[in-house]
Amino acid sequence: MKFAHASTPSKPLAFPALFLSWALAGLLIIMATAQLMTYEKFVPLMQNYQLFGDYTLGRIIAALLVIGEVFSLPFLLRMNISPLFRLTSALSLVLVSALWLILGMWTLATHPPLVGLGIFGSLLKVDSSALLVAFVVGLLVLSGVVMWRLRDDFSFLR
């Protein structure tokens, strides 16, 4: 039952680590909101990537991205949650960052930008795929820094 009860994160953090965590949480909130507002256009955009030649995989990725962005928020906001959900939330942050990196690199390697990468749903259409990939790499780096700074939240694994 060690994993079943809600607990606070292990230690308070210095302001820079909290600021990075809150900034990433704010970015993910904006991304998830924009994707959900235009979800009827977001799913076909993900299907246009034709990962492995499959349109069904586009639907699955679109759903995983939005769900993962929402599920990563409790870890980033350091909410009072169970250790198991804290780990799940952190892993969803890694999953979302990795999926966006894969999609960005796939766009850069195989396509000209379709209608934009889809980071902000279909609200923001950027013509330069290099700019979008730079944004995604920045998202991945920021996620890695936040995960490193919040690594003490997983003291129950030691």
Question: Residue 70, Cβ neighbours under 10 Å: how many?
Answer: 17
Please report whether residue 30 resides in a domain.
yes
CA distance 115 to 121: 10
CA distance 47 to 60: 9
Over residues 31-49, the pLDDT tens digits come to 889 888 888 887 777 777 6
**Residue length of the chain:** 158
CA distance 144 to 157: 19
Please report whether residue 10 resides in a domain.
no
Please report whether residue 82 resides in a domain.
yes
Q: Which residue has the higher pLDDT, 153 or 114?
A: 153
Please report whether residue 4 resides in a domain.
no
How many domains would you assign to the chain?
1
CA distance 154 to 62: 29
- Point out which residues pair with 81 in neighbouring strands: 7
pLDDT of residue 10: 63
Please report whether residue 7 resides in a domain.
no
Please report whether residue 6 resides in a domain.
no
pTM score, whole prediction: 0.80
Please report whether residue 158 resides in a domain.
no
The arithmetic mean of pLDDT across residues 122-137, rounded, is: 67
Question: Residue 85, Cβ neighbours under 10 Å: how many?
Answer: 16
Over residues 64-102, the pLDDT tens digits come to 889 999 999 998 888 888 888 888 998 898 888 888 887
Please report whether residue 157 resides in a domain.
no
pLDDT of residue 71: 95
Identify the domain containing residue 35 by its residue range. Answer: 15-152
CA 8 to chain centre: 23
What is the residue whose two structure tokens read 């639907």? 59
Which long-range CB contacts under 8 A does 55-63 form with residues at least 24 apart?
A: 61/99, 61/103, 62/35
DSSP 125: -
CB half-sphere exposure, 97, CA atoms < 13 A: 21
3-state secondary structure of 122: coil
